[in-house]
Structure 1
Amino acid sequence: MPWIILIVAALFEIGWAVGLKFTEGFTRLWPSVGVGVALVASVVLLGWAAKSLPIGTAYAVWTGLGAAGTIVCGIFFLGEPLTVSRMVCIGFILAGVIGLKVVE
């Protein structure tokens, strides 16, 4: 169960990170509120997962999935470039996340 909570936390992290693009420097109310809610949910869920998982593993998986997911969302939804080097780097991030899960 802590791994599922951690994955949901990472999804909220992706949500707030991508949502930053729509806040226009926190000058738009509702996107800013959405970012704040997603940020709080993400950190609270990370904290719950960290009750059962080592904090180093939980944090690394949370940030790794969040970073990779944010890059993928940027590519597919925000028109950011899809390059071989970006895909290789995402692969390295995901390999690290999988490695941490395997050794847990």
Structure 2
Amino acid sequence: MSWLVLILSGVMEAVWATALGRSEGFTRPVPSITFVAALVVSMAGLAWAMRELPVGTSYAVWVGIGASLTVAWAMITGTEPVSLAKVLLLVGLIGCVVGLKYVH
């Protein structure tokens, strides 16, 4: 259950990171509120998962998922250019996150 919560928390990290970028310095209410809500859920889930999982592994997985999804979403929506190098690096990052699960 801790791994599921950690994965969902990583997804919420991508949500708050994307919302933060769209908040335009907290001047837009909907992205700003989305940022705060997703941040609270993401941090709470990370903290909950860390009760059973090692801190280093939890944090690396959380950041890896959040960063990968944030960049992937930006490329999908066209707000960030797509390149072969970026895609290969994201695949490598995701591979490392999966690897951490299996060596835990």
**TM-score tier (shorter):** over 0.9
Which segments of 5 or more consecutive residues in structure 1 lack a partner in the other structure?
none
CA distance in 2, matches of 1:78, 1:63: 22
Under a length normalisation based on structure 1, what TM-score does the superposition of the two structures give?
A: 0.95
Which amino acid is the alignment partner of residue 61 of structure 1? V
Q: Tell me how far apart the structure 2 counterparts of residues 3 and 53 of structure 1 sit (CA, whole Å).
A: 8
Give the aligned partner of residue 29 of structure 2: 29
Residue identity (%) = 39
Give the Cα–Cα distance (whole angstroms) in 1 for the partners of residues 40 and 51 of structure 2. 17
3-state DSSP class of the match of 2:7?
A: helix
1:35-70 deviation digits (Å, cap 9, x = unpaired): 011011100000000101011000000000100000
Unaligned runs of 5+ in 2: none
Q: Which residue of 2 aligns with 1:87?
A: 87
What CA distance in whole angstroms lies between the structure 1 residues aligned with 2:9 and 2:98?
17
User: CA offset at residue 33 of structure 1?
Assistant: 1.1
Letter in structure 2 aligned against 1:47: A
1:54-96 per-position Cα deviation (integer Å, ceiling 9, x unaligned)? 1100000000010000001001124321101101110121121
User: What's 2:98 paired with?
Assistant: 98
Number of the residue aligned with 1:11: 11
Off by >2 Å, runs of 4+ in structure 1: none
**Residue type of the partner of 1:44?**
A
The answer for the alignment partner of 2:55 in structure 1 is: 55
The alignment status of 1:76 with 2:76, answered yes or no, reads yes
Provide the C-alpha distance between the structure 2 equivalents of 1:79 and 1:55, rounded to a whole number of angstroms: 33
Q: How many angstroms apart in 1 are the aligned matches of 2:11 and 2:50?
A: 16
Shift of 1:21: 2.2
